[in-house]
Amino acid sequence: MTFSDLNLNRFLLDALDEMGFTTPTPIQEKAFSVIMSSKDMVGIAQTGTGKTFAYLLPILKQLTFSKQQHPRVLIIVPTRELVVQVIKEIENLTPYINVRFAGVYGGTNLNKQKQLVYQGQDIIVATPGRLLDLALDGILKLKHIQKLVIDEVDEMMNLGFRPQLITLLDLLPKKRQSILFSATLTKEVAGLLDQFFKSPIKIEIASSGSPLDTIKQLAYPVPNFYTKVNFLVELLKDKAIYTKVLVFVKNKKQANILFEELEVLLPGATNVIHSNKTQNYRLRAVKNFEKGFFNILIATDIIARGLDLTDVSHVINFNIPEEPENYMHRIGRTGRAEQEGTAISFFTEEEVDYLGEIELLMNTEIEVYDLPENIEISTQKIDEEMPKVALESVGKKKTITEPSGPAFHEKKEKNKRVNLGGSYRREIAKKYKKPKTRGQKRK
């Protein structure tokens, strides 16, 4: 099948042709007719399978010209980077189509985004928090939304956006088409489908949690952080094999430490991005990584979903993520568009259980190899690896086992308190119209 077989208009076909795309991916092919039918849909497909075009193509084909101010299509994604990526894809598909679109996300000037929305848009791409800000402020009217797309919904749940998402779904008109895409179908995602979707048609390209066939997965037991650094440097020295490498770490602190170490050991080859970096810095770092100005990019999970990268030869899990779904999204950065890729994981004794949970999710065993003998085992540890020492209590009151001296005496009658329970409180409430208790202290 080609894109011409999907009966797309010539404007979309010309745009696809200019990008060099002629054949739809399986998720694009299967989702097209369902979305065109206006039925609710849930698509289970991993990162790198073309999910963005899977919903943009049928939506843009059906979107007619309109001068109305309020948006008709709403696309919700978990991160700022993913907003930028989706907006870029819409730009690529619409050079010959008159369509208005805008992306809104947190961390930028709210008033500027209010003006952007107020100008009138057909499509809004947004993160949940900023979208809710605009909706509750009355600037963004949701009553005209005809199509809702929630992309990477499992990551939204991981990031704690469930309350905002449910609030937004309650604000949207009941009569709408709802489209959801996710790499994994968790219990939380299934609960969302039961509550807010109308008999959705499920399209599953691969079993939920199954890895892409194009990714080779292997793992090494490595005792601590600095031994991991030694092993990583030894691997990365082979630039002919490790041409473009994405390294995932567990938090911002470790990302910064690793970056400082690699800057000394492999100068000029590395950059780092995490949520403490500014939006412009992160976008510039990703752009320079794509252009090959450096071949190693260190990142944290929180921005894993928004990275639109090509030709990544290796994903290295410097730490094993506690949530097995995050592993799926990490390794999905390589082996994209039917290219081959490799995912290498370093695991400590404390991370063995996390690796086991990942294998259960994928129903696949990861090949485990011994750490090469030439790798130096470091005795140096970072703060997180230091043993936790219980501090002795300072100034703790002495426990008195038996009364002594005149300080111990029988309480006065007025100080003898009796717990009268809920019935007493209800009687007080009737009398004073409020409970006779202190209010919450102000912080």
pLDDT, tens digit, 9 for 90 and up, residues 159-173: 788 899 999 999 999
Residue 392 lies in a domain: no
Same domain, 229 and 374: yes
CATH number at residue 54: 3.40.50.300
pLDDT at 280: 80
87/146 same-domain check:
yes
In a domain, 434, yes or no: no
Co-location of 172 and 262 in the same domain: no
Whether residues 99 and 242 fall in one domain: no
Same domain, 277 and 363: yes
Range with lowest mean pLDDT among 23-27, 376-380, 407-411? 407-411
pLDDT tens per residue, range 235-252:
999 999 999 999 999 999
In a domain, 419, yes or no: no
pLDDT at 415: 47
> What is the reported pLDDT for 407?
46
Q: Is residue 128 part of a domain?
A: yes
Whether 64 and 85 share a structural domain:
yes
Question: Cα–chain-centroid distance for residue 126?
Answer: 14
Same domain for 84 and 225 = no
Residue 428 has pLDDT above 70, yes or no: no
Tokens 């030894």 appear where?
Answer: 234
Burial code of 73-108, b = ≥16 C-beta within 10 A, e = fewer?
bbbbbbbbbbbbbbbebbeebbeeeebbbbbbbbee
Distance CA 375, CA 380 (A): 14
Total domains in the fold of the chain: 2
> Do 190 and 259 lie in a common domain?
no
More confident position, 216 or 432: 216
Residue 420 has pLDDT above 90, yes or no: no
Residue 358, domain member (yes or no): yes
Considering the domain boundaries, does residue 294 fall inside one?
A: yes
Q: What's the pLDDT tens digit per position in 31-43?
A: 999 999 999 999 9
Choose the final residue of a domain: 204, 223, 256. Answer: 204
Residues 48/275, Cβ–Cβ less than 8 Å: no
Q: Where a domain ends, among 178, 204, 230? A: 204
Q: What is the mean pLDDT of the chain?
A: 85
- Band (335; pLDDT cuts 50, 70, 90): confident
> Quick one: pLDDT at residue 325?
79
DSSP 65-123: ----SS-SEEEE-SSHHHHHHHHHHHHHH-TTS---EEEE-TTS-HHHHHHHHHT--SE
Given a cut of 90, whether residue 396 has pLDDT beyond it is no
Whether the per-residue pLDDT at 71 is higher than 90: the answer is yes
Q: Is the pLDDT of residue 94 over 90?
A: yes
Flag whether pLDDT at 270 surpasses 90. Answer: yes
Q: Are 100 and 64 in contact (CB under 8 A)?
A: no
Residue with tokens 């100005």: 293
Q: What average pLDDT score do residues 2-9 get?
A: 92
| Whether residues 103 and 246 fall in one domain | no
pLDDT at 414: 46
| 236 and 94 belong to one structural domain | no
Query: Using an 8 Å Cβ cutoff, are 360 and 324 in contact?
Result: yes
Domain that holds residue 151: 3-204
**Of 204, 223, 257, which one is at a domain's C-terminal end?**
204
Which of 78, 216, 207, 92 lies closest to 149 in space, CA to CA? Answer: 78
pLDDT score at 50 = 85
Residues 126 and 26 occupy one common structural domain: yes
Instruction: Give me the pLDDT at residue 413, please.
Output: 52
Same domain, yes or no: 233 and 122: no
Cα dihedral: 47, 52, 57, 62 (round 10): 130
